[in-house]
Amino acid sequence: MIDIHTHILPGIDDGSRNIKESIDILKELISQGVKEIIATPHIISGVYDNTRKIIDEKIEELNSEITTYKLPIRIHKGAELYCEPNLIEKTKREDLSLAGSKYILIESDMQRFPDNFENILYQFQIAGYTPILAHAERFAPFINDFNYLLDIINRGILVQINSGSLFGDYGDNVQKLAHKILKTGCVHFIASDVHGLNKRPIMLKEAYQFLSENFNENLPKLLMNENPKRLIQNKEIENMVENYYVEEKTKQTLKEKIKNFFRI
């Protein structure tokens, strides 16, 4: 797996607090089957004023620990951009895309998007970037109006959802929307958005299994491996695999399976 959304870099946002915690998180990611990650520290003016230089230094620091501990994982540079004025200029100036690609990870206030939100996304597209909405299922405007999310996707914006959302880590409404997003095919990536081992469980392995069992075994591969790989290689991102969704009513319960097996 490749995890495209992590707060792994120590001490520069509300994620990992120190290098030891970063190493512990990396070990947990590895045990879940993750081989590559993108480090995406928050960038919020006046709160987390992270620059390219700070991010590069922290990645270098973590990489030397990875070498020391011989951890089988690779880290790519990235950032989680908070939607605010002059963001495009800052993104260009500081080179804040994901893994040096044209893709950027963007978030906003959870309760309310800025008035010119669609326009900011469009301006990024005009500038040659492809925005990916971080944890789209957590935003109140989409919880209240699913068509709004469809509209955003139709504009060529990509969607990432958090593994933990599928299991109710952020409440019922978020879980419900995460499932709806999956069922309707409005998703391109699943990632952990890990902030620390004590905050929320990573749940990537569970998400992979959940998708294989409830949808189609190609779906977790696409959302947690192939699309992230394409992102890192700066290739176009594919949409959903065909016929991945099996209607609930066509699934057999264990009782029905036994009945059919014995043709009772």
Shortest distance, position 94 Cβ to Fe ion, whole Å: 18
Shortest distance, position 199 Cβ to Fe ion, whole Å: 11
Shortest distance, position 5 Cβ to Fe ion, whole Å: 6
Among residues 208, 242, 213, which one has the least CA distance to residue 225?
208
Residues 6+ apart with CB under 8 A from 172: none
Number of residues this chain uses to bind Fe ion (CB under 5 A): 2
The nearer residue to Fe ion, 3 or 193, going by C-beta atoms, is 193
Other CB atoms within a 10 A radius of the CB of residue 56 amount to: 12
The nearer residue to Fe ion, 47 or 258, going by C-beta atoms, is 47
Residue nearest to Fe ion (CB): 193
The answer to the question of residue 13 lying near Fe ion (CB under 5 A) is no
Q: Which range of residues in 155-163, 175-183, 189-197, 225-233 is near Fe ion by CB under 5 A?
A: 189-197
Shortest distance, position 255 Cβ to Fe ion, whole Å: 42
**Strands in 122-205 per DSSP E:** 130-133, 158-162, 189-191
The nearer residue to Fe ion, 97 or 216, going by C-beta atoms, is 97
Distances (CA, A) of 118 to 115, 131, 136, 149, 152: 8, 11, 14, 11, 8
Beta bridge partners of 158: 132
Selected from 193, 211, 232, 244, the binder of Fe ion by CB under 5 A is 193
Shortest distance, position 139 Cβ to Fe ion, whole Å: 13
Amino acid at 214: N
Selected from 79, 80, 210, 232, the binder of Fe ion by CB under 5 A is 80
Residues 6+ apart with CB under 8 A from 30: 71, 72, 73
Residue ranges that bind Fe ion, judged by CB under 5 A? 80, 193
